[in-house]
Amino acid sequence: MKRWEMMVALRYLRARRKEMFVSLIALIAGGGVAIGVMVLCIVMSVMTGFEEDLRDRILGFNPQIVLLSHGGTVRDYGQVTETVRQAPGVTAAAPFVYGQAMVSSDSSVAGAVVRGVEPQHASDVVDVQRHLKEGDAQNLGTTMAVTTIIDGKDEALQVPQVLIGFELAKTLGVGVGDWINMMSPLGSPTAVGMVPRVKRFGVGGIFDSGMYDYDSTIVFMAMADAQRFFEIGEKATGIEVKVEDIDGARVVARDLEQRVGYPYFARDWMEVNRNLFVAFRLEKFIQFIVLMLIVLVAAFNIAASLVMVVMEKRKDIAILKSMGATNLAIATIFVFKGAVIGILGTVAGILGGLGGAALLERYRFIELPKDVFYVSTVPVRIYPENFALVALAAVAICVLATIYPARQAARLAPVDVIRYE
């Protein structure tokens, strides 16, 4: 059986003709809560979608942990790699060579970042094959025939193959089967000074990661070719690692440091991209606070409508208190009424936000320019915990807004009402 305070509160929600204005304010307040909650749910879903989509793209083309040496290079990288592979939480590990170079073709020149990988492990840590538009990752480590002009004659040369990004290929104006020149900034010492090391490679594949920065700079090369090109001998820059749980990468990184010892140190993906993801979380939090102000404005409308109800129901309150109603019971009536308005508005907002986010996720009718953003449509991720957080915050604000009018109603003295009214 319902408590009488709740029955009275529900009765006050049903307006009589002369109280239509007060009820209209309450309806507007509930609508404001619904709009604020709906917008906040959609924005949270979109921001979460952007964050996770960016994380997936970054992790799709970068190792989750990188093991490096304070000495600059890893000499016994084979043994270190096997030690890393045996560590708990690690699913794959492979050595790599990292360096910078200048890349040129007949028509253009561009800067590039060279990543030398073992061809047999090219897709173990970073799934290069999945991102290839043309060619095959297995082409790394093999040679291809290219035709060039030497002393005015067409000559066929056998050159090592590399994989380049889609944007870099467009800048250089090359495709699969064409050749490129690669120049190391370190150079080789000669009798006349430092001479840049220049070597010709064939384009064996073109990848598209969906990230402009990667597609316009990265060149994948067989590790042996990279070691010869940079003249580092049988050494590696580091070990790249893939883990079972990306959220637990930091724990695995610290464990790897303990296993391999000094001079090695590990950096996980959260450390490498810390500034980017901290900025995302800060932006999402600020948007949560700003959009919650819409709910706060609606809560003020709830408080205003309750104040007007208290003024309208002074006689009813006096009669109830004369019949023995306590101050707590009177306050409960108005708190419950405000809470009902807030809960109904919140439920409507949650349903509207869920529907709007689901439509965005399914139909993707908002298109984004890909030359500005890294995605072509708005990414959406729907998580019940985000919706629950918004609902709890909205209901809490609405309940807090009822405290002042409920307190004023509870403090009303029946004698004053009877005497003057």
Report the interhelical angle of 327-363 vs 314-322 (nearest 10°).
130
Q: What percent of the chain has pLDDT above 90?
A: 32
Rounded CA-CA distance 238/71 in Å is 11
Question: According to the model, what pLDDT value does residue 41 have?
Answer: 92
User: Would residue 194 be called left, alpha or beta, if left means φ above 0 and alpha means ψ between -120 and 50 degrees?
Assistant: beta
pLDDT at 4 over 90: no
Rounded CA-CA distance 77/82 in Å is 9
Q: Is 259 exposed, middle or buried (0-12, 13-18, 19+ CB in 10 A)?
A: middle
Question: According to the model, what pLDDT value does residue 163 have?
Answer: 94
Q: Which residues, other chains included, contact 273 with Cβ-Cβ below 8 Å and sequence gap of 6+?
A: 58
Look up residue 399 and give its two tokens.
């309940």
Query: What value does the mean pLDDT of the chain take?
Result: 84
- State pLDDT tens for residues 317-350: 787 787 878 888 888 888 888 888 899 999 999 9
Question: According to the model, what pLDDT value does residue 164 have?
Answer: 93
Structural contact between residues 128 and 163, judged by C-beta atoms closer than 8 angstroms: yes
Rounded CA-CA distance 265/239 in Å is 10
- State pLDDT tens for residues 6-26: 777 767 666 555 556 666 777
Q: For the chain, how big is the Rg over CA atoms in Å? A: 33
Rounded CA-CA distance 338/405 in Å is 10
Listed by start position, the domains of the chain span 4-58+276-420, 71-261
pTM: 0.75
Question: Helix (H, G, I), strand (E, B), or coil: what is residue 237?
Answer: coil
Residue 187: C-alpha distances to residues 108, 114, 194, 229, 293 (Å): 21, 16, 6, 10, 60
Look up residue 158 and give its two tokens.
């056998």
